[in-house]
């Protein structure tokens, strides 16, 4: 339709009539096209909508009652959407409008110390959040040319992880194990260990009970870790859409810091619940189910998420995003669908074993089944050398120990090895919320390899380690120092 201009008829400049005429004279007639959809059916966190033929995948829709939905599935004549916000007034028949926008979340330092939902709304009592920048939730991962090798260590403060399954900045390391084996505890310790290390942390909690959410936040606060951390929460009672979006929200927040050149650490606790939420949404929206009723693109979904963790090249600012996705297994079964997917996507796994847990070996990390495929390159050569010796001893001991269960008589040298192994197992135990610095890790490795712990009782191991820790805290020795230097300091403790 051609635009028309209405001419002013009045010339009296001040009269109301003249003002109206002036307004009218500037008014542009034009064609405004807008589609209006209608909610056809509703339930379990999803809505079917018809009447919006030009809506696109991942577009945010605004509903008349104030609810919001995200286009998730395009069917013939209908849209399958997941609800992001639902008011009590939402019913079938409610009108729906397009926004033309994709879902995005506010990012930046305003988030530090805050608890938010996956849409960036504050869940704590520290007031509303205001952002200067926003990023879309679902973006492509950085291209190969923008990436660099994983070359710097990301210390978790855990004895076994930092020595035997080391993690590098930009690595994706899976934490896998049965429920209640200490998966979250390990991840929380890793976050606490970043205090004063200039690493921004994001802890994503997906589908957890409110009591667990409160506990985690309280622990982070108590350990002064909340100041450099943002907690993204979609608790068990949240809509499935929010649980599905939570890891992407956390990833986006970390990505913004990574783009600014910072190192970041993201924990996804846990991906099993995320996969279940995605399956629930997909089944409700009648997508064809595949293995274990998961939709066929679940592998793509998780790899899309985890591929965004990387270390950027110096040209791109050199930032990094280390990811610790958590997977819960059933009866230690790591060969089921989601665990195998995640194992193949990530750069290694830390396996927590419920039998070790029951025997009181805490943290219950099974050294034989845990690997880090790229972290070794980031490990300091001094630690690597010492850890290699210790690992060999430990693996041999575990093998020998099996024989002793049959009550067979052993040679004296074997007995000695077993004794040494038992002491090592005692050394490797670590209490909750007590991350250790890398200097102490070096100290106990040297002390063990030199045999300084050999002739003590098992009960004496812990006090000896405490003594060593105090000594190292005052020694001002760096990891770069030669072995002799370390030996002399460690020796003096005994």
Ligand X SMILES: Nc1ncnc2c1ncn2[C@@H]1O[C@H](COP(=O)(O)OP(=O)(O)OP(=O)(O)O)[C@@H](O)[C@H]1O
Which residues would be at the binding site for ligand X (CB under 6 A)? 177, 179-185, 328, 362-363, 430-432
* Shortest distance (Å) from residue 272 CB to ligand X: 9
362 binds, among Mg ion, ligand X, none (CB under 5 to 8 A by kind): ligand X
* Shortest distance (Å) from residue 393 CB to ligand X: 22
Q: Distance of CA 62 to CAs 55, 167, 202, Å?
A: 12, 43, 29
* Shortest distance (Å) from residue 353 CB to Mg ion: 15
CA dist 142 and 307 (Å) reads 8
Q: How far apart are the first and last CA of the chain?
A: 92
Residue choice 173, 184, 194, 322 for contact with Mg ion (CB under 5 A)? 184
* 449 sits near Mg ion (criterion: CB under 5 A): no
162 binds, among ligand X, Mg ion, none (CB under 5 to 8 A by kind): none
> Which of residues 176 and 242 has its CB atom nearest to ligand X in the complex?
176
**Which are the contacts of 337, defined by CB distance < 8 A and separation ≥ 6?**
291, 292, 294, 298
Residue 410 φ then ψ, to 5°: -120, 155
> Which of residues 71 and 185 has its CB atom nearest to ligand X in the complex?
185
Return the range that interacts with Mg ion (CB under 5 A); candidates 125-133, 180-188, 283-291, 314-322. 180-188
Edge-first strand listing for the sheet containing 115-116: 115-116, 229-234, 199-206, 263-269, 320-329, 174-178, 348-352, 371-372
* Shortest distance (Å) from residue 133 CB to ligand X: 33
CA dist 135 and 103 (Å) reads 8
Asked if residues 185 and 337 have their Cβ atoms less than 8 Å apart, the reply is no
How would you class 181 by CB atoms within 10 Å of its CB: exposed for 0-12, middle for 13-18, buried for 19 or more? buried
220 binds, among Mg ion, ligand X, none (CB under 5 to 8 A by kind): none
> Which of residues 68 and 183 has its CB atom nearest to ligand X in the complex?
183
> Which of residues 112 and 362 has its CB atom nearest to ligand X in the complex?
362
Return the range that interacts with Mg ion (CB under 5 A); candidates 3-11, 90-98, 178-186, 417-425. 178-186
CB burial readout 363-391, b (16+ within 10 A) else e: bbbbbeebbbebbbbbbbebbeebbeebe
432 binds, among ligand X, Mg ion, none (CB under 5 to 8 A by kind): ligand X
Which 3 state secondary structure label does DSSP give 193? coil
- Known catalytic residue at 373: yes
Q: Distance of CA 39 to CAs 72, 285, 328, 478, Å?
A: 15, 14, 37, 65
- What is the token pair recorded at 485? 């230097």
- What is the token pair recorded at 15? 């009269």
Q: Which of 102, 373, 417, 483 is catalytic?
A: 373
**Which are the contacts of 172, defined by CB distance < 8 A and separation ≥ 6?**
306, 309, 322, 323, 325, 345, 346, 347
* Shortest distance (Å) from residue 205 CB to Mg ion: 9
Return the range that interacts with Mg ion (CB under 5 A); candidates 182-190, 242-250, 279-287, 352-360. 182-190
> Which of residues 216 and 464 has its CB atom nearest to ligand X in the complex?
216
* Shortest distance (Å) from residue 434 CB to ligand X: 8
Return the range that interacts with Mg ion (CB under 5 A); candidates 17-25, 87-95, 144-152, 177-185. 177-185
CA dist 184 and 265 (Å) reads 14
25 binds, among ligand X, Mg ion, none (CB under 5 to 8 A by kind): none
207 Cα distance to chain centroid: 14
> Which of residues 154 and 271 has its CB atom nearest to Mg ion in the complex?
271
328 binds, among ligand X, Mg ion, none (CB under 5 to 8 A by kind): ligand X
* Shortest distance (Å) from residue 180 CB to ligand X: 4
> Which of residues 241 and 363 has its CB atom nearest to ligand X in the complex?
363
> Which of residues 89 and 222 has its CB atom nearest to ligand X in the complex?
222
CA dist 54 and 98 (Å) reads 9
Return the range that interacts with Mg ion (CB under 5 A); candidates 37-45, 183-191, 342-350, 473-481. 183-191
| Closest-approach residue to Mg ion (CB) | 184
Catalytic residues: 373
* Residues making contact with Mg ion (CB under 5 A): 184
């Amino acid at each position: 339709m051609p635009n028309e201009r209405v001419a002013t008829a009045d010339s009296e400049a001040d009269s109301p009539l003249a003002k109206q005429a002036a307004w009218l004279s500037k008014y542009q007639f034009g064609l405004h096209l807008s589609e209006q959809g209608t909610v056809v059916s509703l339930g379990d966190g999803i809505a079917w909508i018809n009447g919006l033929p030009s809506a696109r995948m991942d577009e945010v829709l605004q509903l008349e009652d104030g609810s919001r939905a995200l286009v998730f599935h395009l069917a013939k004549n209908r849209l399958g959407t997941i609800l992001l916000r639902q008011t009590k007034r939402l019913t079938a028949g409610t009108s729906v409008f397009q926004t033309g926008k994709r879902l995005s979340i506010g990012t930046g330092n305003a988030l530090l110390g805050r608890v938010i939902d996956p849409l960036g709304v504050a869940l704590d009592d520290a007031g509303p959040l205001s952002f200067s920048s926003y990023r879309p939730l679902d973006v492509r991962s950085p291209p190969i040319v923008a990436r660099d090798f994983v070359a710097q260590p990301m210390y978790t403060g855990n004895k076994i992880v930092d020595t035997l399954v080391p993690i590098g900045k930009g690595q994706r390391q899976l934490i896998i194990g049965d429920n209640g084996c200490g998966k979250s505890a390990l991840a929380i310790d890793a976050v606490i260990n970043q205090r004063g290390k200039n690493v921004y942390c994001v802890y994503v909690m997906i589908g957890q009970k409110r009591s667990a959410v409160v506990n985690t936040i309280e622990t982070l606060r108590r350990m002064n870790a909340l100041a450099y951390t943002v907690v993204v929460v979609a608790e068990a009672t949240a809509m499935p859409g929010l649980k599905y979006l939570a890891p992407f929200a956390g990833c986006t927040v970390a990505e913004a810091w990574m783009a600014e050149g910072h190192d970041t650490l993201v924990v996804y606790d846990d991906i099993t619940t995320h996969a279940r939420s995605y399956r629930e949404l997909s089944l409700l929206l009648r997508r064809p189910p595949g293995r274990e009723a998961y939709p066929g693109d679940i592998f793509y979904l998780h790899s899309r998420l985890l591929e965004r963790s990387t270390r950027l090249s110096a040209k791109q600012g050199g930032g990094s995003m280390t990811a610790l996705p958590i997977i819960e297994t059933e009866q230690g079964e790591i060969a089921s669908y989601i665990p195998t997917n995640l194992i193949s996507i990530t750069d290694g796994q830390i396996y927590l074993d419920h039998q070790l847990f029951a025997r009181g070996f805490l943290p219950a990390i099974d050294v034989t089944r845990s690997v880090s495929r790229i972290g070794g390159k980031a490990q300091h050569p001094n630690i690597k050398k010492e850890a290699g010796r210790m690992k060999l001893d430990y693996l041999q001991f575990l093998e020998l120990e099996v024989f002793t269960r049959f009550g067979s008589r052993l040679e004296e040298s074997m007995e000695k090895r077993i004794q040494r192994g038992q002491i090592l197992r005692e050394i490797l135990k670590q209490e909750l919320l007590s991350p250790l610095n890398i200097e102490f890790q070096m100290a106990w490795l040297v002390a063990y390899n030199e045999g300084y712990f050999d002739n003590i009782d098992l009960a004496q191991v812990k006090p000896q380690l405490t003594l060593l820790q105090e000594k190292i805290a005052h020694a001002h020795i760096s990891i770069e120092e030669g072995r002799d230097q370390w030996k002399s300091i460690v020796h003096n403790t005994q």
